[in-house]
Amino acid sequence: EPEVTQTPSHQVTQMGQEVILRCVPISNHLYFYWYRQILGQKVEFLVSFYNNEISEKSEIFDDQFSVERPDGSNFTLKIRSTKLEDSAMYFCASSEALRGGSPLHFGNGTRLTVT
């Protein structure tokens, strides 16, 4: 069964450094998402992406964050200057369609630790 893959599984970085989290969505999917989950808290929506542009973003997704689909298969989340509070699990998801009956498929996440 096709799946969403994320790399790396764990990333450790120093405060102020840039990080890029990578995702390969399911190949025929058109809608892409990033979520994050701080340890012990809810899964929070960050951004949705379609047709090479952001379609919606949350308040969390400030100017330090950016997303890109650099080629036909990868979908990346960049944090320009990491803060301690960016430490979290980051999940990528993709969906075939926006129909209410079309589920999101999630990767197993990248654990980002900012020191």
Partner 1 sequence: DAKTTQPNSMESNEEEPVHLPCNHSTISGTDYIHWYRQLPSQGPEYVIHGLTSNVNNRMASLAIAEDRKSSTLILHRATLRDAAVYYCILRAVSGNTGKLIFGQGTTLQVKP
Query: Could you give the CA distance from residue 107 to residue 6 in angstroms, rounded to a whole number?
Result: 6
For partner 1, the closer of residues 7 and 17 by Cβ is 7
Is 39 a binder of partner 1 (CB under 8 A)? no
- Fill in the amino acid letter for 19: V
Residues 57-96 contacting partner 1, CB under 8 A: 91, 93, 95
- Determine, following the binding rule CB under 8 A, whether residue 105 of this chain makes contact with partner 1: yes
* Secondary structure of residue 84 in the 3-state scheme: helix
Per CB under 8 A, the segment of 12-20, 45-53, 62-70, 72-80 that binds partner 1 is 45-53
Question: How wide is the angle at C-alpha 19 spanned by C-alphas 23 and 69, nearest 5°?
Answer: 35
